[in-house]
Amino acid sequence: MVEDNELNRLRDIAAPAPAQDAKARAFEAALRAYDQENISAVTQGSVGGLRLTERAQKLWSEIMQKKLIATPALAGLVALPIAGYATFHLLREQPPKFGGDEKISETLADKPATVKPTTAQPKPAPTGLEKDKKADADVESRNATDALVAPASPQKSESTVAGGAAQQNALERGVLAEPAPPAPTGEFALDGAVSAPSTSRARMPAESKLMAPQQPSTLPADQMQPPPENRDRIEDFKANPVHAALEDPVSTFSIDVDTASYSFVRSSLKQGTLPQADTVRVEEMINYFPYDWKGPESASTPFNSTVSVMPTPWNTHTRLMHVAIKGFDVKPTEQPKANLVFLIDVSGSMDEPDKLPLLKSAFRLLVSKLKADDTISIVTYAGDAGTVLEPTKASEKDKILSAIDNLTPGGSTAGEAGIKEAYRLAQKSFVKDGVNRVMLATDGDFNIGQSDDDDLKRLIESERKTGVFLSVFGFGRGNLNDQMMQTIAQNGNGTAAYIDTLAEAEKVLVEDASSTLFTIAKDVKIQVEFNPNKVSEYRLIGYETRALNREDFNNDRVDAGDIGSGHSVTAIYEITPKGSGGEQIDPLRYGQASVDNGGVANAGEYAFVKIRYKLPNEDVSKLITTPVTSANEISSFDQASTDQRFSVAVAAFGQKLRDEDATAKFGYDKIMEIATAARGADPFGYRSEFLSLVRLASALGGNR
């Protein structure tokens, strides 16, 4: 009982409070002990104190001996930095081997050391103290690992490809990716474990990004290259202005049957970008599509023209004067013999899938279209020009196709030498009263010899006098010299097309082969005189790059466009009838007396259309005229033919892509409505594809 009472008395006695100086001494001793084991007292860059690996081994040994078990909170705080130290120690003792001997000079001291686990489980947010300790560990690891060198880059595998993608994503987010450390080896390896790269990545804290030194990237070189420079050369131009018929009643231009612009626009839209305005030539977009315009009865008259006047869908105050031309369609049995020279660019820039490989496939299609007695020659040019195939009959198809298949890219672009050699071969096998044509296929500039557009123009002009014409086919993007293509095609009595897909190659070289190869009229010009008594203003839609001076119309020395067999050509004017209230130009104060004098002839006509042309083997032009009267009027737009309405939809789309004022308030939905209703017969799907392009443009640019 005495012992029990004594125990009870001792239990009830309050423990004496510790003295303040004793508490302070104990706290200081604890801090010194902790600093000695965990915190480097030296400044950044110092080499004093224990080395990293020695410190890691010491701390790890103490943990394993359970010396820190008595203070679990302290053990938890030091666990993360200790794991990091151990990992770096292992990297130094046994770096991962991937089969390469190349050394990378980048050190781990240049990188943050915090390792982000790859597990998909969410991590709880660290406490403030944990953040402080983690930051200290990052600094210490950078101080102590100057001698560690990253291993050579591993060979590509599925895992490393995935890691590369992760690094790219990290770089785009502003986070620097860390090479993966190896699995533990040596004394820390697990029994039966296989050493393999980890997918862990180190993340730089956001607050330290601006303070960190610039790091050499661990991404592959091809991923770090800046995007290739876009060297496409496109001629810039301004949209045709509105003209007052009283002041400037005459409009003159060359016809255009090229289609390159439409293909270029399609390529841009399918790549997810709206085309640049200067790449949109509205007339080439309209004329891309085949139309069933009324043609001539015989080859003696190479084409027929049809003119209609109809309401304008995008402006209630104006009307459209629609001029449709249809060339005589030469029957296959009547087609003349063809002498073709393939002039092929095999310079180094052609080494891309949408260039030389596509070009080969395209020309193989054309070879299959030719008749047995047609002639093929092949000239290539890169650093210099060379003849790959002397003039060969198309009946020797295997020989021709083998020459095409063996083409390989390399070198610079000696285009001038290639053109001269091509014309030489064309003259060597010249066919009288036949088709003699050089077919140039390229992706870009001529950078050896004559490379100026004007010099090339003069070269082509001199050669066309021999009766050999030239057509140009563009391939690929980024180096396309569309301006040069247009220049030499226009002056070579040929066409310019842009081939971006094999389907387009089939359209240009197979389905439209007759119109591409067989010219039925050359130097075709159009001149329209508007009657100021009926028309206040007018505007030609498109043909900006084909404008001619008024006096050029009667000058047979001035070159103009050509029409091939079965070609359809469309030109559209937007006109403002006098008194409609839609005028944009103020009337002249003193101009009315010259018109309203009671003596104006043909006062009831809207306009007078004149067309000049030459037959392929003639040098003197002929004239066709058509007065435009009320008999040509269509009362409502819906009463126009399917082809007329569809061509107007394409014209509206081209103007919309160019962001022209005329269609600013006319949305893509309205264009889609007109084109859908006028799709009509569409055996090759061209019009359905057009509808998809309108939808793409609407999505990219908004239904403005």
**Tens digit of pLDDT for each residue in 10-37?**
666 666 677 777 778 887 887 777 666 6
Q: 3-state SS of 578-639?
A: CCCCCCCCCCCCCCHHHCCCCCCCCCCCCEEEEEEEECCCCCCCEEEEEEECHHHECCCHHH
What percent of the chain is predicted at pLDDT more than 70?
A: 65
pLDDT of residue 604: 87
Say whether pLDDT at 85 is over 80: no
Helix ranges restricted to H, 406-559: 415-428, 453-464, 482-491, 502-506, 513-517
pLDDT of residue 592: 58
Instruction: List beta partners, residue 564.
Output: 519
pLDDT of residue 325: 96
Say whether pLDDT at 191 is over 50: no
Helix ranges restricted to H, 317-370: 356-369
Torsions phi, psi of 264, nearest 5? -65, -45
User: 529 and 289 in contact (C-beta within 8 Å)?
Assistant: no
C-alpha span between 350 and 364 (Å, rounded): 17
User: 303 and 327 in contact (C-beta within 8 Å)?
Assistant: yes
Q: Which domains does the chain have, with CATH numbers?
A: 32-224 (no CATH), 243-330+520-580+602-701 (2.60.40.1230), 332-517 (3.40.50.410)
Task: Work out the number of other CB atoms within 10 angstroms of the CB of residue 222.
Answer: 6
C-alpha span between 644 and 247 (Å, rounded): 30
Task: Work out the number of other CB atoms within 10 angstroms of the CB of residue 290.
Answer: 18
If you ran DSSP here, which 8-state letter would residue 207 be given? Answer: G
Say whether pLDDT at 517 is over 50: yes
What is the total residue count of the chain?
Answer: 704
Res. 502 pLDDT band, cuts 50 70 90 = very high
Helix or strand (DSSP H, E) at 134: helix 128-144
Q: Are strands 469-475 and 435-442 parallel, antiparallel or unpaired?
A: parallel
9-23, 233-247, 500-514, 574-588: segment of lowest average pLDDT: 9-23
Res. 494 pLDDT band, cuts 50 70 90 = confident
- Output Rg (C-alpha) for the chain, integer angstroms: 39
Q: How far, CA to CA in Å, does 439 sit from each of 128, 377, 485, 610?
A: 74, 10, 12, 32
Q: What angle do CA 147, 151, 157 make, to 5 degrees?
A: 160
- Token look-up 């439409």 returns 262
User: 539 and 629 in contact (C-beta within 8 Å)?
Assistant: no
Distance from the Cα of residue 157 to its chain's centroid:
30
C-alpha span between 164 and 172 (Å, rounded): 12
Say whether pLDDT at 69 is over 50: no
Task: Work out the number of other CB atoms within 10 angstroms of the CB of residue 136.
Answer: 14
C-alpha span between 697 and 266 (Å, rounded): 10
Among 42-46, 188-192, 223-227, 540-544, top mean pLDDT goes to 540-544
Q: What angle do CA 524, 525, 526 make, to 5 degrees?
A: 130
Phi-psi region of 598 (alpha: psi -120 to 50; beta: other; left: phi over 0): left
pLDDT in tens, 136-167: 444 444 444 343 333 333 444 444 444 444 44
Q: Are strands 519-530 and 201-202 parallel, antiparallel or unpaired?
A: unpaired
Collapsing DSSP to helix, strand or coil, 32 comes out as helix
What percent of the chain is predicted at pLDDT more than 90?
A: 47
pLDDT of residue 278: 93
pLDDT of residue 573: 98
Q: Residue 518 corresponds to which amino acid?
A: F
C-alpha span between 566 and 515 (Å, rounded): 6
DSSP 502-522: HHHHHIIIIITHHHHH-EEEE
C-alpha span between 462 and 221 (Å, rounded): 48
Question: Reduced to 3 DSSP states, what percent helix, strand and coil does the chain have, rounded to the nearest 5?
Answer: 40, 20, 45
pLDDT of residue 145: 39
Q: What is the largest CA-CA distance in the chain?
A: 148
pLDDT of residue 609: 97
Angle between helices 686-701 and 260-270 (to 10 degrees): 50
Please give the mean pLDDT across all residues of the chain. 77
* Entry pTM: 0.67
Task: Work out the number of other CB atoms within 10 angstroms of the CB of residue 166.
Answer: 13
